[in-house]
A = this chain, B = another copy of it.
C-alpha cells in the first residue's frame, strides 16, 4: 500500500473540489488510476461547501457560557458546538465530548484551526454524500473508478494525540466482517470485524498533518480493500452503544459496581 500526500493551494468557500483535486494530483505528476482511494480532509470539504460560521455574530446561550468556562474555550465557539452537537456528554479542558452524525467527536467537529480568521468550520453536512459526489465527479471527468474517504482527526481514549476517522466513504467496503472465518489453527473468529476505512483515515492523517502543511488530500494506492459500487451509509461504521466496549460500559448505570 502506498500513500502520497497532495499539496494544494488554500481551499476557499465555493471552490470546485473535484477540479482542485484533479489539478493538484496532475501537478504532483501523478496519473489517477482505477481503484485509487482519495482521502480528503473533512475541513476542505466543509470549506468548499460553505460550512463556515463567523464567530462575532454568535450570541452564547447560558448553556454555552457554562460549558465554555468548564472547557476553557471561547463562549461563541462553544455556542456553535452546542448548536451542531446531537448529544453533549460533557467536557474537559479544550474539548466538549459530543455525538454528531453517530460519531463521537471533540466539539461536534467544529474547528477554528485552518479556518479563515474569525470563522469556525463545521463538518460537511453529509460526509457520505460529499464522498460520493467527489467519486462521481472524478469518474465523470476522468473515467476512473476510484474510492473516496472524507476523513477527520480524532483522539482515542487515554491516548495522547490524534489519529483519523472516516466520516464518509464511497466506493469500498468500510468494514470487513471476519466473524465465522478461521484463524491459522482453524479456530472460528467470534467477534472480529475490521474498521478498514478508519485504518486508512489514520494512515492519511499521518501524511496530512494538522497545521500549515497544506496537504488536505492523500492518494492511497494498492490498499487491501474491497471496492464496490453500492452506496455506503456512514451509519454502517457505527456500533450501537450497548455493543460498544467503551460506551456500553461507561453509559451503563451499574458500570462500576457490577463486580
Contacts and interface: CB of A to CB of B under 8 A. Distances in A.
A90 interface: yes
- Stoichiometry, copies per complex: 2
A92 interface: yes
A93 B237 CA distance: 18
Q: What 9 pairs between A and B have smallest CB-CB spacing?
A: A161-B195, A203-B203, A202-B202, A250-B250, A161-B193, A92-B248, A90-B249, A199-B206, A94-B191
A140 interface: no
A195 B156 contact: yes
Contact of A199 (B66, B164, B184): B164
Interface of A: 1-4, 10, 63, 66-67, 70, 88-95, 97, 99, 102-104, 106, 112-117, 154-165, 175-176, 178, 181-185, 187, 189-196, 198-200, 202-203, 205-207, 209-212, 214, 223-224, 236-239, 241-252, 254-256, 258-259
B157 A246 contact: yes
Given A117-B187, A184-B10, A258 B70 contact: yes
A247 B249 CA distance: 11
A43 to B, nearest CB: 10
A196 B206 contact: yes
A225 to B, nearest CB: 8
Given A2-B2, A224-B207, A255-B90, A157 B247 contact: yes
Contact of A1 (B3, B175, B239): B3
Contacts of A248: 92
Nearest to A117: B185
A161 B202 contact: no
A166 to B, nearest CB: 9
Contacts of A90: 249, 252, 254-256, 258-259
Contact of A176 (B97, B161, B165): B161
24 contacts: A1-B203, A2-B2, A3-B203, A66-B259, A90-B255, A90-B258, A92-B244, A95-B245, A104-B246, A115-B187, A155-B245, A158-B239, A158-B241, A158-B247, A159-B238, A160-B193, A160-B237, A163-B202, A194-B209, A198-B202, A199-B205, A200-B206, A207-B224, A209-B224
B183 A160 contact: no
B175 A189 contact: no
B210 A159 contact: no
